[in-house]
Every structure is written in C-alpha cells, then in structure tokens.
Structure 1
Amino acid sequence: MKFFSFAFALLMGAFVTVSAQKTVVDIAVGSKAHTTLVAAVKAAGLVETLQGAGPFTVFAPVNDAFAKLPAGTVDNLLKPENKAQLAKVLTYHVVAGNLDAAAVIKAIKDGKGKAVVKTVSGGSLTASLKDGKVILTDENGGVATVTATDLKAGNGVIHVIDGVVLPK
C-alpha cells in the first residue's frame, strides 16, 4: 500500500508540474473569449515565439475588443500580405518579463500614478489606475481596461483587456 501511495503521489506531482507548464498560448487557446486573438497569433506566425521560455506578460484582448475595431480591420490584418503589420499589433500587447498585477500596481504607484512599459514591438504602453482598475493607454491615446489578472503560465502571465491597443 505504501508503494501505491508513493507512486500516486509521484504521478500527481508530475501532473501538477505538467499542468503548471502551460504556455501563455495554451491558456489563450483554452479560452472561448480569445478565439480571435488565437487566430491572429496563428496568422502572424507567433505561436512558436509565445510558446518559448519567456517570460512574457500578455495583455490579451477578448473577442469583443476586436469587434470594437472599425469594420473590416481584423479581416484585413489576417490577410497573409499583412502578416508583419499583424505581428506588430500583437507584439504591442506583449511585455518582456513576468509582470503580475501586484507588480503593475506597484509600478504605477512608484511612478506617481503612471507606469510606462516597453512592449516587445518596441512601442510603449502607459498603465494607470482609474476607479481601482488598471487602464492601458496606447501611443495613439486609445485605452483598454484590465478586466482579469494573473492568469499564470509556465512562461509568463496573461491579463485580460477589453480593448485592442494599437502602436503608432
């Protein structure tokens, strides 16, 4: 019986390790609210990159966020000839490092109300607090609100946002 208990504990430990090693892509794929984002990541050829070691902080727009863009924008970005532009938009939602919600809020407080983070695309996003919620402002003045935080993956963290932020 002791061997069975040990083997079961060992097996459960392996299971927990495997499940904890989901990537940011795996988490997005498992979300019905992120099917547009997943399709865009695939079209841009970023799946392999975002399954890499990271760590990555991903601000992940929900399907409704993409639906708020002007008509035809998503379809246009998904065309093969616009792959580079799509990749730039998507990597604008990614920050190198593992910034959980506490780190983002601390950076905002340390910055006296604002924190500027550099995105993987080379642009910057400004994080601030409004009514207790983190707001991201893009380089064009567009805003998105963080609606869910700290979806942890083995290679980073995802924060869900209600808008698509766009680089200059």
Structure 2
Amino acid sequence: MRSTFLLTAGLMLAPAIATAQTTAPAAPATAPQTAPATGATTAPVGTPQTGPGTTAPATTAAAPVGTGTIVQALPSIPAHATLVRLLTAAKLDAQLGGAGPFTLFAPNDEAFSRLPAGTLDTLLAPANVASLTTILKNHVVPGALTSDQIKSQITAGGGRATLTTLSGQPLVATIDNGSILLTDAVGNKSYVDKPADVREANGVIHSTNGISLPKLG
C-alpha cells in the first residue's frame, strides 16, 4: 500500500517539480553601492574582500543563534505556512523539536502551490502519513549546516557534496550562479533562495524554492 502510494505520488509530483523549480535566485548585484545591500554581496558568503579601499577583510556576520527550535522558528519565516502544516500532519514537528541538530531545507509556499490540484489533500490523508513523512524527511539532514559549511563541503568535494537525508536518500549540493543548488535522488532541482541562515538552538533552516523527492517505488 505504502509503496503504491509513493509511486503514485511521485508520478503526480515529479512533472510539476521538474519544470517549475529550477530558476536560480537573482544574481548578486555587481554595480557599486554606497552601502552593503542585504543579500546582494558580490562575493560568496565569508569570502574576504580585497578591492581598493578595503581596510580589513570583510566577512558576512554570522546570523545570531536563536534559543528555540527550528520547528518553533519556522512559522515566523514568511511564506512557509504549507510546510508547517505538513510537518504537523506528519508529526515530524515533535522529532524536529528535539535535540538534533538538524538542517532543514524548507520549501516555500510557492513551491507547494505549483503542485497538481489535489496533491496536498492526497498527501494529508491519514492513510498516507507514512509516505508524507518519508517525503518530508528527504528535506532534513543530520547536523547543523550553515551555508558557508555547505559551500566548504562542495569545495572539498571538487564541486559537489552529497548530503544524506533522514529519508536515507541523498541530496547533492553544488554551486550555481553563486547559489546552493540541491539535486534530489530523481534529478529534481531546487535552490536555497535566502542568503541568511536561520540558526536555532537545535539546527539551521534554509528556505528553498522547490521540493526534493526521494526515489519512489
């Protein structure tokens, strides 16, 4: 029953995901600026600036670490209400509210809005909780990984880093146009679309513009 639903869900989800979430975030601004603009630096996060007029290496200040959990923080992040609803339905909010640490790649509401009509209702049906849980776990990686740390792993891996999710399946992280690109086990792609890490006591949240599926069937 579960494998049949997973295969059916995959057939419903994959076409929308494959065609609608591969747009990279806007490229960083390259024109001179009188003051730093949030999310518009011209060098990767943490890269020293060595241009004229620089008196000291410039780095992006680390985001402050919150005192709550990633589950408690998620509702306060704009455009993630659908993911909050799904995590609650799958009862993953209890696990992700634990000690962790975890890294959550959090699809935004727009990513879910592109799914075929009726898909969310199907996933939320009580009989499909186990399958929904598997799909959601494919967005969670053990350990608290900041963007800088993921980029360091990508560099160390010769341009790619394989992150094993709680579903047991991989997400492959690469860099595209300065942004972190995630490719799931069936070839769907999504981008980390926010430059700042949301850091909490038990992990890190990265907003993404697409859904990452496990291999189904």
TM-score above 0.5: yes
- Equivalent pairs counted in the alignment come to 150
Provide the TM-score with structure 1 as the length reference. Answer: 0.86
- Whether 2:77 is the aligned partner of 1:77: answer no
Q: Alignment partner for residue 159 of structure 1, among 206, 210, 213? A: 206
Q: Gaps (5+ residues) in structure 1? A: 1-18
Q: Partner of 2:22 in structure 1?
A: none
- Whether 2:81 is the aligned partner of 1:35: answer yes
- What is the percent sequence identity of the aligned residues? 43
Task: From the two aligned structures, give the one with the greater strand fraction.
Answer: 1
CA distance in 1, matches of 2:134, 2:140: 10
What CA RMSD, in Å, does the superposition of the two structures yield over aligned residues?
A: 1.1
Q: Partner of 1:62 in structure 2?
A: 108
Q: Partner of 1:15 in structure 2?
A: none
Letter in 2 for 1:23: T
Q: 1:153: how far off? A: 0.7
Q: 1:67: how far off? A: 1.2
* 1:55-111 deviation line (CA, Å, top 9, x unaligned): 000000000011122222211101111000100011100000011111100011111
Provide the TM-score with structure 2 as the length reference. Answer: 0.67
Q: Which stretch shifts more, 62-71 or 113-122?
A: 62-71
Q: Partner of 1:3 in structure 2?
A: none
Q: 1:54: how far off? A: 0.5
Q: Partner of 2:176 in structure 1?
A: 130
- Whether 2:59 is the aligned partner of 1:20: answer no
Q: Alignment partner for residue 142 of structure 1, among 182, 188, 197? A: 188
Relative contact order higher in (CA < 8 Å, ≥ 6 apart): 2
- Whether 2:132 is the aligned partner of 1:91: answer no
Q: Alignment partner for residue 91 of structure 2, among 45, 69, 83? A: 45
